[in-house]
Amino acid sequence: ARDCSSDVCSSDLKRRQGFQVLTLKVGDDPVADAELTLAVAAQAQPGDRILADANGGWLLHEAMTYIHRIQDAPGVMIEQPCETVSDCVELGKRTNHPIVLDESIDDLGVLSSILTLKQVSAVNLKIERIGGITKTRQMRDLCLKAGCAMFVQEVGGAEIRSEGRRV
């Protein structure tokens, strides 16, 4: 079993800093991942959301094991539970927990198909992976038109550095 105490303490610190969406990296062992999720959920305050990001690490049956174990935990969103869109969509049909797609969103055609199926709750658009601001804006517009919630992130270049120059 996984020692969840440090993860729970970390989530408590993040909450005190004003964060309301707590991201957990999961996607290895669905049973241990569920234990971690439940431990964090037990400490959650009203309005907190838990984003369990599996990075496509589970097969469909493993994702189902995780879903079954956390079914009563409020406020849990599952990001990219499986590698394939079809498995993520199938999982979305079998749970009330929101499914957020991430790694599988890489072009307008894929996004359009996903939005047509209406089996995911949100998408996470990462500007660099998608190919820049223009493509991300097109995807954002498509999500807005479809009424799909989204996160827009830029993971690379998140820090601004200033270096002095010697003359």
| pLDDT tens column, 114-138 | 898 887 899 999 998 898 999 999 9
Q: Is residue 127 classed as helix, strand or coil in its secondary structure?
A: helix
In the residue annotation, 25 being an active-site residue is answered as: yes
Residue 102 has pLDDT above 80, yes or no: yes
| pLDDT tens column, 37-94 | 999 999 888 888 999 999 999 999 999 999 999 999 999 999 999 999 999 999 999 9
Q: Which of 14, 93, 118, 126 is catalytic?
A: 126
Instruction: Answer yes or no: are the C-beta atoms of 90 and 99 closer than 8 Å.
Output: no
Instruction: Compute φ and ψ for 53, nearest 5 degrees.
Output: -95, 110
- The pTM is what? 0.80
Distances (CA, A) of 88 to 46, 58, 102, 124: 27, 10, 11, 14
Strand partners, 21: 49
Residue 148 has pLDDT above 80, yes or no: yes
Instruction: Answer yes or no: are the C-beta atoms of 100 and 123 closer than 8 Å.
Output: yes
Provide the mean pLDDT of the chain: 85
In the residue annotation, 126 being an active-site residue is answered as: yes
Q: Which of 14, 25, 93, 145 is catalytic?
A: 25
